[in-house]
Amino acid sequence: MLTPSRLVIARKRRGLTLTRLADLTGLSTRSISLYENGHQTPSEETLRQLADVLDVSAAFLGAPDIDEIPQDAVSFRALSKMTARQRDRALSAGRIALLINDWIEARFHLPARDIPSLTGHDPEAAAEVVRARWGLGERPVGNVLHLLESRGVRIYSLTAENSELDAFSLYWNGQPFIFLSTSKSGERGRFDAAHELGHLVLHGEHLVPSRPAAEVEANRFAAAFLMPRAGVLAQGLRDATPEAVLAAKRTWKVAAMALTHRLHELDLLTEWGYRTACVQLSRLGYRRTERDGIPRESSQLLAKVFRSVRDHGETPAAIAMAVGITADELRSHVFGLTLTAITGDPAAAPAPARGALHLVRPAD
């Protein structure tokens, strides 16, 4: 028995139009449309065929009804550049991550939400409030993802086909979620996560007045959260040279360009100094990449969950099966966030050979 909402999500997840799905299955566009509207029910065989093409199990398509993520629940930075299909694909992929999350929540106690709602606040002030509330003072944030997870945010990976996005976030039944691209530099990942925190803090309650303005606010929040005013002022960075910026960015674990921008924002760099610094950093190759950057942050929550799953003699593939997706699909939602390899085969989970350690006596 088909659940129409699940067919819609599985189709959009693959970035398929009705016509394209019709082509791939040999069904008519009209039939698929009737299935999706619930006006007609496919035979068992057709259901399996649809499931096959969509790379989910037939059980997935028959499980209880699920709501789509409404597009206005999410602030996409690159929205103007996105097609409707790209947007639907990202939201449907997110919806599947929410199903994975349901599985986890049913089995684990996870940190409760502790995200202040500061709708309408100035981003700089809001970042200070969040820092104060979380006891961060003026210190650098050691690990943004762990911090957010400890405050109740659930973090999943943006799937590879959605690489035109950096990140998006939403509240789902009151639970904050961030979907993060894991193909960017470590510094960029931290900034993206802080940017999404800005949306959750500033724009969680009402619809955002206008998207471009909301994006600017979230960026200002991220900069102030990662590089707090008083902490940066204390670093002696007035009229900083690129060398000084490159040294100081290590303290805050941000990109050189982000720190340069922050210095300008805090009036520590003149307009002219800012432009010069940008040009010099570009020449050194810092505009496109972050040279000798920090490693990407990973998810502590997912690592612990997968470890516990393993310790209980289950496999990630069994989780995938329970949710009705393939192990590959599961992997794509946690890719880059866990060190745990997720094997495709539920039976085979060979322990990696460990190098034996032995004590080497120093020569006298």
Partner 1 sequence: MAARVVVEGEMADRLAELGLSVEIVERAVRRADAEASMCTPLDPPIMEGLTRWGRTNRFLREELIPAGWRCDNPSNLPRTIHPSGGFAIVATTGDELTGLADLLPATKYPKGYATVQAVEINEQLALDFGDFDLGPAGGPAGGPAADAGDLLTWLLLFHVDEVGFRAELSLPDRIADGRITSWAERIILPFFPRDDDRLADLITPDRGDRDEGVVVEVNRRPA
Which residue ranges make up the site for partner 1 (CB under 8 A)?
106-111, 114, 132, 135-139, 142-143, 146-147, 149-150, 230-231, 233-235, 298, 300-301, 303-305, 307-308, 312, 339-340
Q: Decide: 93 and 158 in contact? Cβ < 8 Å.
A: yes
Do residues 340 and 306 lie in contact, with contact meaning Cβ atoms separated by under 8 Å? yes
CA distance 115 to 221: 14
How far apart CA 145 and CA 298 sit, in angstroms, is: 7
Which H helix or E strand runs over 172?
Answer: strand 167-172
Shortest gap between Cβ of 157 and partner 1 (angstroms)?
A: 16
Q: Which of 36, 128 has the CB closer to partner 1?
A: 128
Please say which residue, 48 or 146, places its beta carbon nearer to partner 1.
Answer: 146
CB of 251 to partner 1, least distance (A): 12
Closer residue to partner 1 (CB): 102 or 114: 114
Q: How far is the CB of 234 from partner 1 (least distance, A)?
A: 4
CB of 355 to partner 1, least distance (A): 16
Q: What is the DSSP letter of 19?
A: H
Handedness of CA 91, 21, 324, 315 (dihedral sign): negative
Q: How far is the CB of 139 from partner 1 (least distance, A)?
A: 6
Q: How many CB atoms lie within 10 A of CB 238?
A: 14
d(CA 46, CA 50): 6
Nearer to partner 1, 64 or 295 (CB): 295
Number of C-beta neighbours around residue 170 at 10 A: 21
**C-beta closer to partner 1: residue 58 or 266:** 266
